[in-house]
Structure 1
Amino acid sequence: MKKATGKTAGKAKSTADDVDAYLAKVPEPARTTLGEVRAAIRSVVPAEATEGLSYRMPAFHYKGALVAYAAFKNHCSFFPMQASLTDEMQEELKGYRTSKGTLQFALDKPLPATLVKKMVKRRIAENERRGKR
Structure 2
Amino acid sequence: MKTNITKSIDEYIQNFPEEVQSVLQKIRKTIQKEAPEATETISYAIPTFVQNGNLLHFAAFSKHIGFYALPSGNQAFQKEISRYKSGKGSIQFPLNEPIPYPLIKKIVKFRVAENLEKTKKKVSKKKSPIQKKKSKPNRK
Tell whether the 8 Å contact from 1:34 to 1:110 is kept in structure 2 after alignment: no
Runs of 4+ in 1 over 3 A off after TM superposition: none
Following TM superposition, by how much is the alpha carbon of 1:106 offset from its aligned partner in structure 2, in angstroms? Answer: 1.6
CA distance in 1, matches of 2:101, 2:73: 17
**TM-score, normalised with respect to structure 2:** 0.74
- Describe the SS at the equivalent of 1:32: helix
Aligned to 1:34: 24
CA distance in 1, matches of 2:12, 2:96: 18
1:126 aligns with 2:114: yes
The count of residues paired between Structure 1 and Structure 2 equals 115
Q: Root-mean-square deviation (CA), in Å?
A: 1.9
Partner of 1:107: 95
Output the TM-score relative to the length of structure 1: 0.78
Indicate the structure with greater helix content. Answer: 2
Which structure ranks higher in relative contact order (CA pairs < 8 Å, sequence separation ≥ 6)?
1
> Which protein has the bigger strand share?
1
Which runs of 5 or more structure 1 residues have no equivalent in the other structure? 1-13
State the AA in 2 paired with 1:130. K
Aligned partners of 1:25, 1:34: CA distance in 2, in Å?
A: 11
AA aligned opposite 2:16: V
**Does residue 1:65 correspond to 2:43, yes or no?**
no
Among all aligned residue pairs of Structure 1 and Structure 2, give the percentage whose two residues are the same amino acid. 37
Unaligned stretches of 5+ residues in structure 2: 1-6, 124-140
Q: CA deviation at 1:76?
A: 1.1
Q: Which amino acid aligns with 2:79?
A: E
Amino acid at match of 2:27: V
